[in-house]
Amino acid sequence: MTTLDYLDFDFSEEADGSGSFDAVASVGPQHRTALHAEIVAVLDWAHAAFAGQRAPLDDGGAWDFDLQSLQEWSLSETLTYDEGRGRLTVCPGTAGAPRHTVSLSIVGSADFCAAFRAAFAID
C-alpha cells in the first residue's frame, strides 16, 4: 500500500462497480516535486497492474485517466474603508509565490477500482 500525502481521491461508484477517482492538489514550489512523484507513483502502478489495458471504458479498456495542470500567481492587496465617503480603497501589494494546481481523474472497471482502492487505501 502506498501512502499519498498530496493526492486525496474522491471515489464515485457506478451501479456496475466501475467508478472514478478524482483528486485536485494545489502546492507551492517547495512541494511540486513531491506532488509530481505521487502522480508518477499512481500512474506507474496503474500501468503495471493493468498493463496494456488503458483505454476508454466504452472501448473495452480497464482504466483511463485525465491529467490537467495550472500554475497560478496571487497578488496580495490591502483594502481600506473610508467611513466618510462610504467606499473601499484597494492598494495592490506584492506577488506571491506561484501555486501549482493539478487535477487527476482516473476511471476504471470494477476490478481496477477494487485494486486501486486497496493499493492506495482509499475508502
Report yes or no on 21 lying in a domain: yes
Number of domains in the chain: 1
Residue 30: its pLDDT value, please?
Answer: 95
Report yes or no on 88 lying in a domain: no
Report yes or no on 27 lying in a domain: yes
Give bridge partners of residue 92 from the DSSP assignment. 77
Q: Please report, as a single letter, which amino acid is at residue 21.
A: F
Report yes or no on 22 lying in a domain: yes
Residue 41: its pLDDT value, please?
Answer: 96
Report yes or no on 91 lying in a domain: no
Three cell numbers, residue 85 = 465617503
Global pTM reads: 0.82
Report yes or no on 76 lying in a domain: no
Q: Which residues form the domain of 50?
A: 10-70+99-120
CATH code for the domain of 29: 3.30.70
Residue 97: its pLDDT value, please?
Answer: 85
The secondary structure of 13-35, three-state, reads ECCCCCEEEEEEEEECHHHHHHH
Give bridge partners of residue 21 from the DSSP assignment. 11, 106
123 residues of the chain, pLDDT tens digit each: 678 999 999 999 999 989 999 999 999 999 999 999 999 999 999 999 999 999 999 999 999 999 999 999 888 888 999 999 999 999 888 888 899 999 999 999 999 999 999 999 987
The secondary structure of 45-102, three-state, reads HHHHHCCCCECCHHHCCCEEEEEEEEEECCEEEEEEEECCCCEEEEEEEEECCCEEEE
Report yes or no on 33 lying in a domain: yes
Q: Please report, as a single letter, which amino acid is at residue 90.
A: V
Report yes or no on 85 lying in a domain: no
Q: Please report, as a single letter, which amino acid is at residue 37.
A: A
